[in-house]
Chain A
Amino acid sequence: MPYSKEQIGALVRPDSVNKSIYTDPELFKLEMQRIYGRIWVYVGHDSQVPNVGDYHATMIGDQDVVMVRADDGKVHVLYNRCPHKGAMVVPEGNGCAGKFFRCPYHGWTFRLNGHHLAAPMKLGLEGTRFDPASPEFSMRELARVDSYRGFVFASQAADGIPLPEFLGGARSSLDNFCDRAPEGEVVASKNVFRVIQRANWKVFYENLNDTMHARVTHESAIQAARDEVKAEGLEQMPLRLHIMENNGQPYEFWEKLKLVAFDHGHSYMEGIFDPGSIKKDPISHAHYQTLIDAYGEKRALEILSENRHNTIIYGSGSPHTVFQQFRIIRPLSVDRTLIEIQVFRLKGAPEEVYRRALMYCNVINSPASAVMPDDLEVYFRCQMGNRTRGGEWVSQHRYAGTDKPIDGGLVAINGTSELPMRNQFNAWKQYMLAAA
C-alpha cells in the first residue's frame, strides 16, 4: 500500500521515530527514489581515477554507476548500463577502460563521457529509428555531477540546490580534511575496507555522533586495553590501545563535546583525541612542521586546532578529518548496508601521518578490529528488536527541545544530546515529503 504524505509525516515526531522506518521494505523503496534518487551522494574521490580511462564502479542508492575520467580531463558519472540490451558495461571495482567503453555483449562502444561511438554492422540499423546522436543510444550520465575539493558527488535529479549549498556547514570538515595536507589535496589509498552490516543504513548515521554508546557498546575493548597496560606494566598507553580505550571516558567527558548539526541532515562532533598532541607526539609535531612551511605558523595551528571526530554528510557517509578517512554508507536493502572505508594520504605530509591513519583504521574500522564488530552486533540487535511487536517508537529524547539555532543549523547544549539524530530525521522527513 503506498504511503500518503500524512502517513510519512506521522512517522517522524520531534523526539522519536516510528520503527517501521528501519524495517519496512516499502519505505526503503521510497528512500531510494526520494532521497538517493535526488540528493547529492558521494561517489568517490577523483584520485581514484587519476588517468583518462580510469574508472571506479560503485552504487548510488540502488543504482549501479561508474565514475570515469574522460578525455576532457573531467570526472563523469554514468549509469553502468549499455543502451542496447541493458548489460552492465563495467563488471565491478576499479580499472581502466582505455580510450572508450566497449560492451562485452555485442560490442557497442561509447566515449568515456558515455556518448555513443559505434555499433558493429551499421547497415542493419539504417532506415530504423536508431539514432547514434540520440541520448537513447548512449550510456546515460547522471543528471548532475560536481566535486568539492576532490570529493565527487552526483545527483540523479536535474533540479535542486547546487552541491556547495547542499553540503552547507559540512563543507568546513572537507576543507579542514584537505587543509591538513600541506599541498591542500588528499589522495585515496589503494584499497578500502568493505563491511556488511545486517541492519538498516540509518542506524549507522545515528551511531556516528552518538556519544552515549561508546562506553557501553565498546566495553570489552576498553577493558582489554586497560588490562593489557596493567598486565604488561606499561607506563604509557600506546596509541593503538588509546584509540580503543578512549571510548571509555566518563559521561562528563562526552557531555562537554560540541555537537553541531546542519541543514540537510549533516552534523559533526568535536574530536575525542588530544589536540595538544602536536607538542608531545613526534608524528603530529612533524606534520605540524610541514604545515608551518606551507601555510605559516598561525594558519598551521588553526588547521590542526580544528579538532573533529565524525562528520556526517547525510546520504553519503562520514569523513574523519583527524585520521583521514571517509566511511561511505551504501544501503543494500532495508536490513543490509555496506560500509566502505577509504583512507587518504595528505599530499606533502610525512608518510608517518598516513601510516598512523592506516593503523587507526586497522584497529577501529577493520571488520577484524577490536571495535567495529560490537557496533555491527548492536545494529543487528536493533534491526531484530524492531521487528517485534514490543513497541512502536524509537527514542531520540535526550536533550530534545533544547537545541540552539545557529546559521544554517543547530548546536546542542550538551554533548550527549541526540540532536544529530533528530536533525537526520528532520531532513529525512523533508526529503520524503518534498518528492511525494
Chain B
Amino acid sequence: MMLMEEKFDYSTEATKRVAVPADTYQQLSQFLYHEARLLDTRQWDAWLKLWTPDGMYWIPRSRDQQSPYDALSLCWDDDVLRRVRMRILDSPRRWSQQPRSYASRLIGNVTVDGTDSDGCLLVRSVIHMTEWRRETMFHRAGSCVHKLVADGDSWKIKLKRVDLIDCDGAYEAIELYM
C-alpha cells in the first residue's frame, strides 16, 4: 500500500559522467550566481520561476541523509511551500522579520558531477550565506547540489539540496532560503 507515492527522485549521485564545454560551464556558474542574486535582492517571483513545477528544495537535518521521508529535514519544500514562504517573507505581519533579515550568498567551487538516470545535470557548489538580523550575524555554510533540467538555452531546478556543515546543530529561526 502506497498512499504517498515516492515518485520524486531525490538522489544526487551522478550515474554518468559528462564533459561540458567551457562556455556551458560558464553558463552553469552564471545560472547559480544569478539564482543567489535573485535571493539576495528578494526577487522572489523571478526566483520561483527558476524551478520545475515538481521541483523540491531540500535542507537535510542529518549528515549523509538518505531520504526526506525517513527522517526530519530542515526544509523539504515543494512549489506550494516555496510560494508560501515568499508570501510570508513579504507579509507585514511576519513578526520574526521585524526587523527583516539581510543576506549575502557567496557561491563557489562549481563542478559538474554528471547526469542522473533521467539525464538531469548534477551541479555541485559550495555556499556561504551571511545573514544579518537585529544585531546578530548568522553564518550558513555548506555544499549544494542542483539537479537541473534543460530549458531552452537555460535550465530549471528540479532539486536543490543544501547540506549545511552544522545541519545537526541547534538553530534560531532560519527564514531565508540559501
Q: Which residues of A come within 8 Å of B, CB atoms?
A: 189-198, 217, 219-221, 223-225, 227-228, 231-232, 238, 240-241, 244, 282-283, 286, 338, 341, 343, 350, 352, 355-356, 358-359, 361-363, 366-368, 370, 372-374, 376-378, 381
Contacts and interface: CB of A to CB of B under 8 A. Distances in A.
A196 B171 CA distance: 6
A368 B1 contact: no
Contacts of A367: 74, 171-174
Contacts of B98: 377
Nearest to A244: B84
Contacts of B69: 355, 358
A362 B170 contact: no
A382 B148 CA distance: 45
Interface of B: 1-4, 59, 61-62, 65, 68-76, 80-81, 83-85, 87-88, 91, 93-96, 98, 168-175
A435 to B, nearest CB: 30
A145 to B, nearest CB: 26
Nearest to B98: A377
**Can you list the 9 inter-chain pairs with the closest CB atoms, starting with the nearest?**
A373-B173, A224-B87, A373-B96, A220-B91, A194-B170, A368-B174, A377-B96, A367-B171, A220-B94
B4 A378 contact: no
B85 to A, nearest CB: 7
A191 B62 contact: yes
B87 A227 contact: yes
Contact of A374 (B84, B96, B170): B96
A244 B174 CA distance: 17
Contacts, number: 124
A326 to B, nearest CB: 13
Nearest to A339: B170
Most buried by A among B3, B72, B80, B87: B72
Contact of A368 (B75, B84, B87, B95): B75
Nearest to B78: A240
Contacts of B75: 362, 366, 368
A339 to B, nearest CB: 9
A366 B175 CA distance: 10
B93 A219 contact: yes
B91 A223 contact: yes
A221 B94 CA distance: 8
A368 B178 CA distance: 11
A223 B89 CA distance: 12
A219 B91 CA distance: 9
Contacts of A352: 2-4
A240 B80 contact: yes
A94 to B, nearest CB: 10
A359 B172 CA distance: 20
A168 B83 CA distance: 44
A397 B172 CA distance: 31
Contact of B76 (A225, A350, A362, A372): A362
Most buried by B among A219, A231, A356: A219
Contact of A377 (B59, B61, B65, B95): B95
Given A196-B171, A366-B174, A368-B173, 4 more contacts: A355-B4, A368-B74, A370-B88, A377-B95
A338 B170 CA distance: 8
A356 B93 CA distance: 28
A244 B94 CA distance: 14
Most buried by B among A189, A231, A283, A370: A370
A363 B75 CA distance: 8
Contacts of A196: 170-172
22 contacts: A189-B72, A193-B72, A194-B171, A195-B172, A219-B93, A220-B91, A220-B94, A223-B87, A224-B88, A228-B87, A232-B80, A240-B81, A282-B3, A358-B71, A362-B76, A363-B81, A367-B171, A368-B74, A368-B175, A370-B84, A370-B88, A377-B98
Contacts of B171: 194-196, 367-368
A286 B91 contact: no
A197 B170 CA distance: 10
Nearest to A345: B70
Nearest to A366: B74
Given A343-B72, A377-B96, A191 B168 contact: yes
Contacts of B88: 220-221, 224, 370
B137 to A, nearest CB: 15
A373 B173 CA distance: 5
B2 to A, nearest CB: 8
A112 B169 CA distance: 27
A376 B175 CA distance: 12
Nearest to B92: A220
Most buried by A among B1, B75, B98, B170: B170
Nearest to B83: A228
B94 A283 contact: no
B161 to A, nearest CB: 14
B86 to A, nearest CB: 8
A377 B175 CA distance: 12
A385 B130 CA distance: 28
